[in-house]
Structure 1
Amino acid sequence: MSLACSRFIFLLVFLAAALTMGASLFLEYGVGLEPCLLCQAQRGFLLGICLVNLMGYVHGPRRAGMWVYSIASMLLALGGAASALRQVLMQRLAPEQLMFCQPDLASIWRDLSLNEIFSMIYRGNDVCAHISWTVLDLSIPELSLLAFVGLSIAGGFQVVSSIYYRKPRAHATRSSSKY
């Protein structure tokens, strides 16, 4: 895979993640949907994907750098997919199996340790399980899961192509000396 092709894929992944982030911000500020803690975690993963792929595009790395950026992008996308999958599974649970009255993110950051924060976010609550908006009969977490799976596939493609990246061969030049 050539360097120009890898930069183009970094740009495509950045644009896809930025559009997904823009859609989530539109749903919050334009439509008025309030994001839950898992939605905010997914936005964090999206922001990370945007930053990593933008840096990969601007930097234009060779094989090792391309591998590092691709692994980081793929791991962030897999983390986002895990968050979205957790929220999709929570939407399938009965309401009595969910935790109620979870505090807001600011008080969580102030009062709890990092381990307790992750535990509380992924435990979820009734707000995370509420389906408030659908498109083509898919809820927002299901659409988010599809986006993260697509971004994971793109990151995986970049990882594989960085492993098999070969420097273009220089054409052999004839020597100008005569016999």
Structure 2
Amino acid sequence: MINRLLEARPFNAAAAAVCAVLLAYAYYSQFVVGLEPCPLCIFQRVAMILLMLLFIAGAIVGGGQIRSRIIAGLTGLTALGGASISAWHIYQQNQPAEEWASCGGDLSYMFEVFSFWEALEMAFTGTGDCAEVDWAFLGVSMPAWVGLWFLALGAVGVWANWRAARPPF
């Protein structure tokens, strides 16, 4: 019973469910509450979707030393990437208003008007939209909460999958 509970599959399934709930709240905030996501918010969502897909893959194909280690590594990299985007977003939010870049429009507009690389550069240099704090809980902005979730989910994903890759003794 204890060995069954410590397998990676239940951890991966639970982590995928957490990712789905976080994404559902992001879409609720957008479509029901009316908070428009900035380009960095969109990139954080993409990273969360990738993380969720990795957890789903771990829940489905779990087991096996090589597969578990690959899932652990990719989960860690994806979570760090998402946390890095969140950190950059937090940095943008903490800049003085005079230093904000001018608003470049939403992400779909940037990709329509500019080349892929120009739009990507504009998204990561920050727009006025990215610097605004529209939502906070306990004094912490949404990108900071998302960054904390990336770190927590990444730690769980790496721990559970790397542990599952150990040979039994």
Query: If the length of structure 2 is used for normalisation, what is the TM-score?
Result: 0.88
Larger radius of gyration: 1
Kindly state the Cα deviation for residue 112 of structure 1 after the two structures are TM-superposed.
1.1
In structure 2, the residue matched to 1:147 is 149
How large is the Cα RMSD of the aligned pairs? 2.0
Number of aligned residue pairs: give it: 166
Answer 1 or 2: which has greater helix percent: 2
Q: Which residue of 1 aligns with 2:116?
A: 113
Distance 2:74 2:35 in 1: 30
**Structure 1: 4+ residue segments shifted above 3 A:** 1-4
The offset of 1:99, in angstroms, is 1.1
In structure 1, the partner of 2:31 is 29
- How many Å separate the matches in 2 of 1:6 and 1:159? 5
Q: How far apart, in 1, do the equivalents of 2:121 and 2:153 lie?
A: 25
> Which residue matches 1:166?
167
Equivalent residue for 1:95?
97
Aligned residue type for 1:113: F
Cα deviation for residue 159 of structure 1 reads: 5.2
Matched AA of 1:144? V
Q: Is the 8 A contact 1:3 1:60 kept in 2?
A: no
Deviation at 1:140, TM superposition (A): 0.8
Which secondary structure does the structure 1 equivalent of 2:104 belong to? coil
Gaps in structure 1 of 5+ consecutive residues: 170-179
Task: Please list every run of 5 or more consecutive structure 2 residues that lacks an aligned counterpart in the other structure.
Answer: none
Q: Report the equivalent of 1:14.
A: 16
8 Å contact kept, 2:103–2:129:
no
